Amino acid sequence: MTPGARLSAAIEVLADIAERRRPVADALKDWGLAHRFAGSGDRAIIATLVYDALRRRASAAWIMGEDTPRAVLIGSLRLQRGLAAQTIAALFTGERFAPAPLTEAERVRLETGTLSHAPVAIAGDVPEWVVPSLETALGDDLLPELRALARRAPLDIRVNTLRATREGVREALAHLSPEPTPLSPDGLRVPLGEDGRGPALHVEPEFLEGWFEIQDEGSQLAARLAHAQPGMTVIDLCAGGGGKTLALAALMGNAGRLIATDGDPRRLAPIHERLRRAGAVAEVRTPRGGKGRPDVLGDLDGSADLVLVDAPCTGSGTWRRNPDAKWRLRPGSLATRVAEQEAVLDRAARLVRPGGRIVYVTCSLLPEENDAAVAGIAARRDDLAPRPLTLSADIAAAARTTLHGIQMSPERTGTDGFYVAAIERRPTSP
């Protein structure tokens, strides 16, 4: 496909997303099925164009003066890729499936449009209704953080210390030029290509042998901040596909008892193969469907040294990776997530032993899902109280300290927006 044809395809996909309010992955998949002549390279570039346009949807529409798929794509080429108006015009020729030539109004907008007087929601490319919450969390750093949240995310991997060392993996992947992550001692960062996409790490022999997992540095740090130790009884209550379960198993050196479960059994499907590949030891308890299903953790009440709650959340801290999600988020969705967080924290409180800890994690920047959730469980249970996290000096310097925990963010830590807090169940009086 020609560069112009790829732009036309991206506009088509953006129109499908806008009309049907569907996830970008679904729209891209359907476009690929309907256009089988497009090679994998073409599809990758089209996907990058679409993701970049969604990252800058509000600001691109502002400088172009309209919120159409074509306008958003044109504006994103300038804002996200830094292309000059003349360069963009050379791609919009109307020839060989390229989009129609730029109008005079579009040229003027590209050359003169500015964000200098744009509201924060526009300049930061977020829904207007979340700005007050984000301002509470980010303060004077609001706009720099939102701009960082609109950039492309890095590609990080976590070295599986059950099978390899960081230097060993770095040497094995030397052809990809990985560098150590700034904060995680087990992480490596793999450079992205010019198109903003990373290499196919899942086909590397070292991945297939379980030497590493693909995991954002912030997620790696969240698992480390749980301070799981060999010999502990640890429950990963919202394990999902098992990313943090694998990290916990490595931190424990496969010594102790590690139990993984999730309220949605479908999310647990990948965990079994991932555990096998990593050589990680964990007991997976999969709940059955139906209203009368038994509690698969009922025998563990009051026995866990550590319960990790990687809670369901809005995912606002991952908008670099999932930019379409921010435009589909509604206040009702936040209320639903808050209710789910209350329920899972209440379950964790029954599992933890006196003197044990709950470590609460979200990938959200919204305080309603973070400090407010911790304060809520402490108010509901007089035997639970927030406790300071044990932080290394570099994490303490980089992360934002909140009332009850820490907040990582793209601008401050270079990671996704993970929140982490510790809650202790008070020891029983003698």
Average pLDDT of the residues in 329-342: 96
pLDDT number for residue 197: 84
Q: How confident is the model at residue 430 (pLDDT cuts 50, 70, 90)?
A: low
Binding-site annotation, residues: 262, 310
Query: What is the per-residue pLDDT for 117?
Result: 94
- Give the pLDDT score at 294: 78
Q: What is the dihedral of CA 46, 52, 54, 57, to 10 degrees?
A: -130
Q: How far apart are the first and last CA of the chain?
A: 74
Hey, how many other C-beta atoms are within 10 angstroms of the C-beta on 43? 18
Structure tokens at 294: 């038994």
What does the block give as tokens for 408?
A: 């990582």
156: enclosing H helix or E strand: strand 155-159
Torsion of CA 55, 56, 58, 59, to 10 degrees: 160
Give the closest residue to 253 by CA, choosing from 234, 272, 273.
234
d(CA 103, CA 5): 18
- H/E element, 356: strand 352-362
Cα–Cα separations (whole angstroms), residue 162 to 208, 225, 279, 281: 14, 19, 7, 10
Residue 279: band (very low, low, confident or very high) from pLDDT cuts 50, 70, 90:
very high
Nearest to 225 by CA among 375, 405, 46: 405
* Three-state secondary structure string covering 58-72: HHHHHHHCCCCHHHH
For residue 353, give the 3-state DSSP assignment. strand
Q: What is the mean pLDDT of residues 246-257?
A: 98
pLDDT of residue 96: 85
Q: How confident is the model at residue 195 (pLDDT cuts 50, 70, 90)?
A: confident
Tokens of 259: 């139990």
If one counts every other C-beta atom within 10 angstroms of the C-beta of residue 358, the result is 28
Residue 426 pLDDT level (bands cut at 50, 70, 90): very high
Q: What is the mean pLDDT of residues 249-257?
A: 98
Determine the Cα–Cα distance for residues 226 and 248; give it in Å rounded to an integer. Answer: 8
pLDDT of residue 288: 84
Averaged pLDDT for residues 118-143: 97
* Pairing, β 304-310 against β 233-236: parallel
Question: How would residue 291 be classed by pLDDT, with cut points 50, 70 and 90?
Answer: low
Q: Note if 363 is an active site residue.
A: yes
Residues 370/341, Cβ–Cβ less than 8 Å: no
Structure tokens at 143: 């706009």
Query: Could you report the per-residue pLDDT of 146-178, keeping only the tens digit for each?
Result: 999 999 999 999 999 999 999 999 999 999 999
Q: What is the mean pLDDT of residues 269-279?
A: 97
**pLDDT (0 to 100) of residue 290:** 59
Burial of 92 (0-12, 13-18, 19+ CB in 10 A): buried
Q: What is the mean pLDDT of residues 134-145?
A: 96
Mean predicted confidence (pLDDT) in 77-84? 94
Range 390-398 average pLDDT? 95
pLDDT of residue 213: 98
Torsion of CA 34, 36, 39, 41, to 10 degrees: 20
Q: Which residues of 231-268 are buried (b: 16+ CB within 10 A; e: fewer)?
A: ebbbbbbbbbebbbbbbbbbbbeeebbbbbbbeeeebb
Give the pairing of strands 179-180 and 304-310.
unpaired
Residue 105's CB: how many other CB atoms inside 10 A? Answer: 11
What's the whole-model pTM score? 0.95
Q: How confident is the model at residue 54 (pLDDT cuts 50, 70, 90)?
A: very high
**pLDDT at residue 428, as a whole number:** 78
Nearest Cα residue to 11 out of 46, 61, 62: 46
Region 68-77: mean pLDDT is 97
Mean pLDDT for 284-303 is 85
**Per annotation, catalytic residue among 71, 363, 395, 399:** 363
At 404 the three-state DSSP class reads: coil
Residues in binding site for S-adenosyl-L-methionine = 262, 310
